[in-house]
Amino acid sequence: MKKFFTIFVLLCVCFAYTTATASAQGLTKLEHKNDATVGVYGINTATGQTYSHNADTRFAYASTFKAITSGLLLQQSSPEALNKTVTIKESDIVAYSPVTEQYVGKTMTLRQLISAAMLQSDNTASNIIMEQLGGLDQISSRLQALGDTTTNPQRYEPELNNYDPQSTADTSTPRATAHSLQQLLTTDAVAPQQRKFLQNLMFNNETGDSLIKKGVPDSYKVGDKSGQGTTYGTRNDVALIYPKHQTKPIVLVVFTKHQQQDAQPQDELVAQAARHAIHQLD
């Protein structure tokens, strides 16, 4: 009996190794086909299982960073503090601010600003959130307290979307981003009520339907925050995924970039990368 059990275990290990190898090869082929680099890191918080591909390669984080900064602001704010109001000035407004531009001369609560940043990817709301956190240096310090010494915030919106492969400014890695999101979205680093608020915003987001959500089974519950850069075809998505059969989520980060500066972002590249990853994580 012991011999048969040992054989069974070895067969399982071999199958898992073969499947993971096939997945890695599939992503490499995907990269070659699209002249792109794909970075993936996923954590199944129910099992501890991880999946990675170019997990320590730097990418522009673009608007996925709004999930991080929103989480950091929620970390330091009580539910009552989220009612604090901020006056929106004309000088605050930057490109792509569909919500805040309607509030010039008026006030918005921190709760409204977080919602605007997460649901409409409002850039002015994102900048105000970063200012409420004390600016870029304080954000770096807060990330380091979470164990993230990799992410390098250097600019505000919309300049942070201008990726330069010769610079680490406004870049992170899939691994660092996933671990920070895991802390902010699934642990007591953020109080339960505020954490639930951020999760619900991700689940109600509709801008990522063609990204990670497209790459996972329809029965899975997916919340995400997408991002798109202005150079090198940067297209990203970060997600909280609940497989139908488990109560703890998978945290998945997919970052993509291309070799050419004027390359176009590809949603399908993100979706296919997610499809490869989820098979290894659920």
The answer to whether 69 and 201 are in contact (CB under 8 A) is no
Torsion over CA of 274, 275, 276 and 282, rounded to 10 degrees? Answer: 90
Number of residues that this document lists for the chain: 282
The CA distance from 280 to 276, in Å, is 7
Task: For the chain, report the end-to-end CA distance as a whole number of angstroms.
Answer: 30
Chain centroid to CA 31: 20
Classify 104 as helix, strand or coil: strand
Active site residue 140: no
Residues 6+ apart with CB under 8 A from 37: 31, 54, 57, 59, 256, 257, 258, 259
Nearest to 97 by CA among 129, 69, 128, 124: 124
Instruction: Transcribe 20-66 into DSSP letters.
Output: HHHHHHHHHHHHHHHTEEEEEEEEETTT--EEEESTTS-EE-GGGHH
Q: Which of 23, 52, 63, 97 is catalytic?
A: 63
Residues catalogued as catalytic: 63
